[in-house]
Amino acid sequence: MSESNTERLKVVYRHETLSAPSVLNCMEAILSRHEIPLTGFELFGKAIDLDDVLSATQKANRRGFDLQGHGFGFLLASLPRFRLDFVSIDAATPPKIAWDEWMGELGGSPDFLLAWVVDVEYDRWQNAKDPLLFKVAGKPYEHLPMRSNGLPRPLEQKVVDTSSNPGRWSFRDGWIEAVGAVMWLGEAFWPLTRADRHEVASRDGLRISNPIPSVTRIQSADRNFTTAEGGSGELQTRLRSLLFPESAGTAE
């Protein structure tokens, strides 16, 4: 799926709490509701029907999957190193199915931590560190801040320093630090990040709601963030400081 004009919903859970059957059941329920066929998908590049995905992943001894079809991309993975599970969904802009509907199915678990929506192209370049990525895409990077990758010689090289980018995301221990124009926060989010939910609820400019019991939905802008400049960049920085008061700005 092309990154241009594509949105991505990223949903994070506690480690070893997200199963392939539960995610596939969610997908089947929503796709069926919208009369989207459950056939004609690709799993790791091979044609497959949705009903056969679980057996195929089990046969390959995989807990997750990378599934494409009907204008969607679904990725399910478990990351023991960072003690989290996540699922991401890609869809062309505007999405055929509202992200709130997906979250209605995915956000009800007590192990749900947080979710956010990004513009895929913006997200990619706000987090790209390898200069080769810029060279291949024909994008200038010489003006960007650089730092060492921290590896010993001869593996040491200069990489792009993304640590001040408003749209960056970072793995933390058991969760991910990130911001989006629309976010959903589970009950488990608050003690992890030590964010003050009362301060969040009272902050001007944020539209706060509780579409699911124990889930807080925050909308800070009408559209996905697509620039780090001006007011948009400042909003992302303020949102990060509000939601991640103890980790925002720390080294990655």
Q: Under a CB-based contact definition with an 8 Å cutoff, are residues 119 and 7 in contact?
A: yes
Mean pLDDT over residues 52-59, rounded?
A: 93
Q: How far apart are CA 20 and CA 23, in angstroms?
A: 5
How many CB atoms are located within 10 Å of the residue 51 CB? 11
Mean pLDDT over residues 83-111, rounded?
A: 96
**CA-closest candidate to residue 164, choices 240, 231, 223:** 240
Residues contacting 143, CB < 8 A, separation 6+ = none
Say what percent of the chain tops pLDDT 70: 96
DSSP state of 7: E
Please determine, for residue 102, whether its predicted confidence score (pLDDT) is greater than 70.
Answer: yes
Residues 192-209 have pLDDT tens digits of: 999 999 999 999 999 999
How many CB atoms are located within 10 Å of the residue 85 CB? 24
On the 0-12 / 13-18 / 19+ scale of CB atoms within 10 A, 251 is: exposed
Mean pLDDT over residues 92-118, rounded?
A: 96
DSSP state of 152: P
Q: Under a CB-based contact definition with an 8 Å cutoff, are residues 68 and 81 in contact?
A: no
